[in-house]
Amino acid sequence: MTAVNTVSTIRILDQATVNQIAAGEVVERPAAVVKELVENAIDAGARSIRIDISTSSEGIADIRIIDDGCGMSPADALLAFAPHATSKITGIDDIHRIKTLGFRGEALASIAAVSRVTLVSRLRKSGVVTGTKVVVSGGEKIETGDIGAPEGTCVLVEDLFFNTPARKKFLKSKKTEIAHIHAILEGICLAHPEISFRMFIDQTEQLVTDRSSRLLDVIARMYGSDIVEKLVPVNHALPFIKISGYISLPSLSRKDTSRMMLAINQRYISSAILNGAVREGYGTLLPKDLYPVAFLMLDIDTSLVDVNVHPTKKLVRLSREKEIIRAIQDAVRTSLFGRDLIPDIGISSQSFPGDSSRHAAAEAEMHYDFTAPEPSGIREATHAGTSTTDRQLRQTELGTGVVPAEAKLPVMEVIGQFGGIYILATTYDGELILIDQHAAHERILYEQVAARIPDYHRSQELIVPIILHRSAKEATILSDLLPALANEGFILEEFGRDTFLIRAVPVVLGKLEDTSVIDEIMSDLVNEEPGRPVHNREKITRIIACRGAIKAGTVCSQEQCQRIVNQIRYAENPFTCPHGRPTMVRFSRAELDTLFRRT
Ligand code: ADP
Ligand code: MG
């Protein structure tokens, strides 16, 4: 054993070091300073808040936040910089009733530990005419005194991270830091339509909202009025939660969650779980790789929300999380339900010669390609399907009698079929509707299978059972699926090592002369779709619907097309196939007239 060193190596850190370490958690970048100071202004009851950022060649030089809130007394202005100094709570129990954005009493102390802060504040309606000025640099108070000032508070932050070079080194480019500030402010502005915000960068106005108390105005201000036309309101109230705001029509979906803005009790938060709940509310209205746009304000009983999880408070812990998730899903579903969700092919999506950029932009927004199929599509179309098509149509017609029938779409009259894929139809309003026959029929069949109409799960025994070999891995997955498959009408038995005997399949799949279909179905089943995993039953339902529906490339008679159209009108969700692709798009007469320059 080596000799024990009697000199103590453990020491208590001095307060300045403690403060700098603590500061690192709260103030990781300039945007965090903006967030903390703006939140203080909001907590102070400000009606208007001005944010000025000035930059240098190196990055963000200084940050100034001015508010017309309650202001601080001279004593408070001094005390505010002490670590854990707050006027917002008195003890831990208050955290469960917290209505303010701040409560940890860390922000001013932390910011002042790593920069030079000048605070000027004057108490509102106090009769005192002067304000208080306090300057703190690197945690040291270097100046205090009286100063003439308007009511409210002004905080200026300079030389950020001057004494923490390591932190400074990790700052990203000026552009990135500004982008972070924008992101923070967007969330705050949306959560507080009752406050007017103005942000300037190097004296150039960047972001302005009026004191309107209307969320929709704030959205329009920040993201343009085009987006507003594609939003639907959400209003859902339960005893412990109220959900309000706006969500997008499916046609406005995006590749990421960056436009999913959720606030809990006016605190903008980031939660993959709650974003997932919103997404889930769309069900099969969205393809699996797309996300909606959402601006949702959640008012939740404060006793159910724990914001004391992370110093930046962007993460929250929720009690009764499952019920909250369910409430969000219901709110989204209810507000989409019963709406006309047929995407309009707006004029802008049509390319006039030399107008390819507009076309591309519009297409990107619609997220599906509306270019005509290659002429070869017509050649590939088969007539052999006529009797199969009739059988497939009869199958789903049987089901429509059972499903409660209320048409979701207007009466449509078929004009013809195009490319063996698209049905052209017209409404009495003179709109032209293009329908993807496979997607439409797949939707009809999907709903009927999912509704568990007994007929659809009836098995029909194969005259000759099919022997199916699988790889060891696939065989394992398949054995687990056997009970679920049996429920849906596929009767499979294990038949030696990695081999199965298929004895029966659901009636909806028809006579199955071509056994390769079964092989493909089993492949679909064992190969997990990337993205969101779905329940086995849902997966099997989708596969049956896809395989049992009329295929793209099948030439249908006008009468058969009309039958598809008649059936889709009664679908619960006639607008998308089970995978979230649109079943139909619409051209209004006015749009066509514009296209042909008749207006
Ligand atoms: P917290 O917000 O968690 O209380 P801060 O360090 O951000 O902690 O602020 C400390 C205290 O300073 C606040 O509790 C509040 O009383 C006061 N304060 C800070 N900023 C303002 C402001 N803009 N207007 C009025 N009071 C403020
Ligand atoms: Mg604060």
- DSSP per-residue letters across 488-525: HT-EEEE-STTEEEEEEEEGGGTT-S-THHHHHHHHHH
Q: Which ligand 1 atom is the nearest neighbour of the CA of 41? A: 23
Q: Are 153 and 67 in contact (CB under 8 A)?
A: yes
In this structure, how many other beta carbons lie within 10 angstroms of the beta carbon of residue 558? 13
CA atoms of 444 and 120, how far apart (whole Å): 66
C-alpha closest to that of 67 among 95, 41, 101: 41
Q: Decide: 177 in ligand 1 pocket, CB within 6 A.
A: no
Give the β-pairing of 432-436 and 459-469.
Answer: unpaired
Candidates 25, 79, 86: which one to mutate for ligand 1, based on the most atoms within 8 Å of Cβ?
A: 86
C-alpha closest to that of 403 among 158, 570, 579: 570
pLDDT at 365 (0 to 100): 42
Q: Are 214 and 193 in contact (CB under 8 A)?
A: yes
pLDDT at 366 (0 to 100): 41
How many whole angstroms from 165 Cα to the centroid of ligand 2? 25
pLDDT at 454 (0 to 100): 67
How many whole angstroms from 44 Cα to the centroid of ligand 2? 10
pTM for the full model? 0.74
Q: Decide: 44 in ligand 1 pocket, CB within 6 A.
A: yes
Which residue puts its alpha carbon closest to atom 25 of ligand 1?
71
How many whole angstroms from 102 Cα to the centroid of ligand 1? 8
Q: Helix or strand or coil: residue 375?
A: coil
Which residue puts its alpha carbon closest to atom 21 of ligand 1?
40
Which residue puts its alpha carbon closest to atom 16 of ligand 1?
87
pLDDT in tens, 546-595: 888 998 888 899 999 999 999 999 898 999 999 889 999 999 888 888 88
CA 75 to chain centre: 45
Nearest ligand (C-alpha, residue 46): 1
Q: Decide: 40 in ligand 1 pocket, CB within 6 A.
A: yes
Q: Helix or strand or coil: residue 72?
A: coil
Q: Are 61 and 158 in contact (CB under 8 A)?
A: yes
pLDDT at 529 (0 to 100): 60
Query: Which residue carries 């103030």 as its tokens?
Result: 27
Q: Decide: 66 in ligand 1 pocket, CB within 6 A.
A: no
What does each of the 599 residues of the chain score in pLDDT, given as a tens digit?
555 667 788 888 887 788 777 777 778 899 999 999 999 999 999 999 999 999 998 889 999 999 999 999 999 999 999 988 888 888 888 877 888 888 888 899 999 999 999 999 999 988 888 999 999 999 999 999 999 999 999 999 999 999 888 888 888 888 999 999 999 999 999 999 999 999 999 999 998 998 877 999 999 988 888 899 899 999 999 999 999 999 999 888 899 998 999 999 999 988 999 999 999 999 889 888 899 999 999 999 998 998 877 777 778 889 999 999 999 999 999 999 878 888 887 644 433 333 334 334 443 444 444 444 444 444 444 555 578 888 888 888 766 555 556 788 999 999 999 988 999 999 988 899 999 999 999 999 999 888 877 666 678 888 888 888 888 888 998 898 898 888 888 999 998 889 999 999 888 887 666 677 788 888 888 876 655 566 778 888 888 898 889 988 888 999 999 999 999 998 989 999 998 899 999 998 888 888 888 87
H or E element that contains 75: helix 74-79
Q: Decide: 88 in ligand 1 pocket, CB within 6 A.
A: yes
Nearest ligand (C-alpha, residue 39): 2
Q: What residues have CB less than 8 Å from 278, skipping those under 6 apart?
A: 247, 260, 262, 292, 294, 296, 328, 329, 332
CA atoms of 569 and 588, how far apart (whole Å): 18
CA atoms of 561 and 437, how far apart (whole Å): 8
pLDDT in tens, 268-306: 988 999 999 999 999 889 888 899 999 999 999 998 998
Q: Per-residue DSSP letters for 124-142?
A: TTSS--EEEEEEEETTEEE
C-alpha closest to that of 244 among 337, 336, 335: 335
Q: Which ligand 1 atom is the nearest neighbour of the CA of 36? A: 7
Phi/psi region, residue 310 (left: phi>0; alpha: psi -120 to 50; beta: rest), is: beta
Q: Decide: 103 in ligand 1 pocket, CB within 6 A.
A: yes
Candidates 39, 48, 108: which one to mutate for ligand 1, based on the most atoms within 8 Å of Cβ?
A: 108
Instruction: Kindly provide the residue ranges of all beta strands, DSSP E only, lying in 149-257, ordered along the sequence.
Output: 152-158, 196-201, 204-208, 231-238, 241-248
CA atoms of 344 and 355, how far apart (whole Å): 19
Q: Decide: 433 in ligand 1 pocket, CB within 6 A.
A: no
Phi/psi region, residue 489 (left: phi>0; alpha: psi -120 to 50; beta: rest), is: left
Q: Helix or strand or coil: residue 200?
A: strand
Q: Decide: 119 in ligand 1 pocket, CB within 6 A.
A: no
Q: Decide: 102 in ligand 1 pocket, CB within 6 A.
A: yes
pLDDT at 506 (0 to 100): 86
Q: Are 359 and 349 in contact (CB under 8 A)?
A: yes
